[in-house]
Amino acid sequence: MVRVVVPNNRLLGTNSRLNTALGNMKSTVNIRRYHEADRDNVVSLWRRAFPNDPAHNEPSAVLAAKLAVDDLVFVAIDKDRIIGAAIAGYDGHRGWLYSVAVDQEVRRAGVGTILVHHMLDTLRSRGCIKINLQVRPTNKAVIAFYEALGFSVEERVSMGLLATNDAPQSAAADPNASPSSVG
């Protein structure tokens, strides 16, 4: 667990939302690995933070699938309250950040920065040399947040395929497809 003791007026100035949400006392934000007892609070936070996510990103299913692979799920806690949560991934070549969320009441107060830096340090400690993430192009505030942390927009096309049994199959993958039906 990483414990960051921050005088509230140092998070983002005396007008920060965390100062307002937590009062004018010192705030201790702890970053630690997810515990099973966190499930309901983390799922609730992600549902509030990502209300328009597609069904395949349903938080409880994503969390269960991630924990079946590894434990790179982190929470930010102030006192006994989860105020942030995120997933990191590492395949031995590249690292990824997923589902980085901070409670609306404390956004823009430094919690997201602390959480992301913790994940970056964790990935680097595993030998990761490049870390990626995806942001919807319309989400300008989140793009600016990551740019301020040193990330840059790369000219790439992000492609995806739902690999479930009920996902439609591509005509190109059908060996019986005629050439005129492909394309």
The pLDDT of residue 73? 97
Task: Collect all residues with Cβ–Cβ distance below 8 Å to 88 and sequence separation of at least 6.
Answer: 72, 73, 74, 95, 96, 97, 98, 119, 122, 123
Count the neighbouring beta carbons within 10 Å of the beta carbon of residue 20. Answer: 14
pLDDT one-digit tens code per residue, 155-172: 988 899 988 766 555 544
The pLDDT of residue 22? 45
Structural domains in the chain plus CATH codes: 2-181 (3.40.630.30)
The pLDDT of residue 169? 52
The pLDDT of residue 166? 62
The pLDDT of residue 1? 58
d(CA 24, CA 122): 31
The pLDDT of residue 26? 53
Q: Is 125 exposed, middle or buried (0-12, 13-18, 19+ CB in 10 A)?
A: exposed
The pLDDT of residue 10? 36
The pLDDT of residue 163? 87
Q: How is residue 4 annotated by DSSP?
A: E
| Residues in the chain, pLDDT under 50 | 3-25, 171-173, 177-183
| C-beta contacts of 61-67 below 8 A and 24+ residues apart | 62/87, 62/99, 63/34, 63/39, 67/34
Taking the mean position of all CA atoms in its chain, how far away is CA 179?
A: 42
Residue labelled with tokens 């667990």 = 1
